Copies of this chain bind each other. A is one copy, B any other.
């Protein structure tokens, strides 16, 4: 297996981009990535997009974007695993380079969620749950995560204030990120008095609807050393796992089995433990998700994540910062782009280019992307060399 490095990263400002189309934002992020890399050589493209079909009535996105990017005839593959599609695109680009089939592989994540066709964004998103047994009967993702939040509060005594602290922390970090959709701080009073969405989750517990794209360029470590444009960042571990997509089918709705397994695989491949990792970007689609993920990646024991957040463990200046980018809550959640956006942030931190939100001496990062209510997860370990 060939060693793989990330030599370019590109993003755009995420938000409600009414004046831009699906193809516009894809190309813009990819061109920013080429600029950063100092090369536009691409032997293969992988695109993470959850549902350009339901959102935009546009499948066949892999070819459409290759064409609009000026890369006609380049092999291009769209991958999908609901909101974990972006992470999976990076993993598939890794396979291209690691196998030797491609020397340069571009992973692009994109989702255009405003100005959509059909039943609107919430309806399209519900296709990430088990349609026959969940969505058809009316439950949406805020409802599914509210069930997990209620259970966590009941079993472990997790409090509303602890949940709120996830959002407050991430908005603080996001206020330092010029590409975030909502780059401002929020207070405990604001979270607790925001509109109820699905009890106990309020508006400020939920990530937003976002248009966005991000891209990263992969090649071999050998090639990266030759180019030598940026401090070297390698992908030392990749892990992917599935779980039931129906929450009702899990043995324990408070265990994210896909996150546990994907993390174990990625750490094993990298020859590391969670204690070796300096910081993480994780999938806080709802505040309770970040709590459950902290437990699933082994950072704290089950039931201990709530107090840990309140005590500052995961703050930007804490022992294990989580979501320095602002996370899904503040940076935004264009579902197919999110996993690639996480890699963007991790590389930026490992290069020491994150400005006001820079984590000092960050050498090893973990990124964790998730689909649905935990039905899939993709984890990467990145290292500065």
With both chains docked as a complex, state the minimum distance between the C-beta of A120 and any C-beta of chain B, in angstroms: 13
Tell me if A177 is interfacial: C-beta within 8 Å of chain B: no
Q: How many copies does the complex hold?
A: 2
Contacting pair A63 B244 (CB below 8 A): yes
Q: Are the C-beta atoms of B100 and A64 separated by less than 8 Å?
A: no
Q: Please state if A130 and B73 are interface contacts (CB–CB under 8 Å).
A: no
A241/B127 contact (C-beta < 8 A), A60-B376, A92-B92 known: no
Chain B proximity of A121: nearest CB distance (Å): 13
Proximity string of chain A (287-321) to chain B, C-beta cutoff 8 Å, 1 when within and 0 when not: 00000000000000000000000000000000000
- Interface presence of A139 (CB below 8 A): no
- Given A99-B98, A101-B238, A242-B73, A59:B66 Cβ within 8 A: no
Contact B127 A67 (CB under 8 A): no
Partner of A58, one of B71, B131, B243: B131
**From A269, which residue of chain B is reached at the shortest CB distance?**
B101
Given contacts A242-B66, A245-B67, contact A59 B75 (CB under 8 A): no
Whether B127 pairs with A58 at a CB distance below 8 angstroms is: yes
Question: Would you call B242 and A67 a contact (CB within 8 A)?
Answer: yes
Please report the C-alpha to C-alpha distance between residue A51 and residue B100 in the assembled complex, in whole angstroms: 30
Chain B residues, CB < 8 A from A53? 51, 53-54, 124, 127
Are A241 and B75 touching (Cβ within 8 A)?
Answer: yes
Q: Is the CB of A62 within 8 A of B81?
A: yes
* Interchain CB contact under 8 A, B63 and A243: yes
Residues of B within 8 A of A1 (CB): 99-101
In chain A, positions 65-92 with a C-beta closer than 8 Å to chain B are: 66-67, 71-82, 88, 91-92
Q: A57-B135, A60-B129, A77-B79 are in contact. List 13 more A-B contacts (CB 8 A).
A: A53-B124, A57-B127, A62-B242, A63-B81, A63-B243, A64-B245, A67-B249, A73-B258, A75-B265, A78-B80, A79-B79, A95-B96, A99-B100
Closest 6 CB pairs of A and B: A75-B240, A99-B99, A95-B95, A60-B82, A63-B242, A63-B375
Can you list 23 A-B contacts (CB < 8 A)?
A: A1-B100, A21-B132, A53-B127, A56-B131, A57-B131, A60-B128, A60-B129, A60-B372, A60-B376, A63-B244, A63-B371, A72-B244, A73-B241, A73-B258, A74-B241, A75-B262, A76-B240, A77-B79, A77-B88, A78-B80, A79-B80, A98-B99, A99-B100
Give A contacts to B, CB under 8 Å. 1, 21, 44, 50-51, 53-54, 56-64, 66-67, 71-82, 88, 91-92, 94-96, 98-101, 118, 124, 126-132, 135, 238-245, 249, 257-258, 261-262, 265, 371-372, 375-376
